[in-house]
Amino acid sequence: MQKLNSIGLTVILGVLILPTAANAESWICEYGNLVREISVERATTDPAPCSVAYNKESEGLGSSVLWTAQFDGAYCDYKANGLAEKLTGLGWSCTAF
C-alpha cells in the first residue's frame, strides 16, 4: 500500500509541474490569416510589476498594453489567460508557449 501511495504522489507532482495554459506566459492565436499574440511581460523575475501585451501585428495594428499590475502578478496571468480563453471561444486557435 505504501508503494502505491508513493507512486501516486510522484504522478501528482509530475502533473503539477508540467506547463499548462493556466501558467503560460504567452499565447499565439490564429484565425484564418490573422495572428495575434498575448504575452505577460515582467520587468524582473518577480511576479509584479507586470503587464499584458496584445499584439495584432498581422493586421498592421502593432502591440498595445491591455492590463498592468504593480503588486499582484497573478492579476496579469488571470487577465492574459482569460483573453486567450475568450478568443478560443470566438473560434480562434490559441496555443500556449
Secondary structure of the chain in HEC code, one letter for each residue: CHHHHHHHHHHHHHHHHCCCHHHCCEEEEEECCEEEEEEEEECCCCCCCEEEEEECHHHCCCEEEEEEECCCHHHHHHHHHHHHHHHHHCCCEEEEC
Low-confidence ranges of the chain (pLDDT < 70): 1-24
CA nearest 56: which of 78, 79, 38? 38
Are the CB atoms for 26 and 44 separated by under 8 Å? no
The confidence score (pLDDT) of residue 6 equals: 46
pLDDT of residue 23: 53
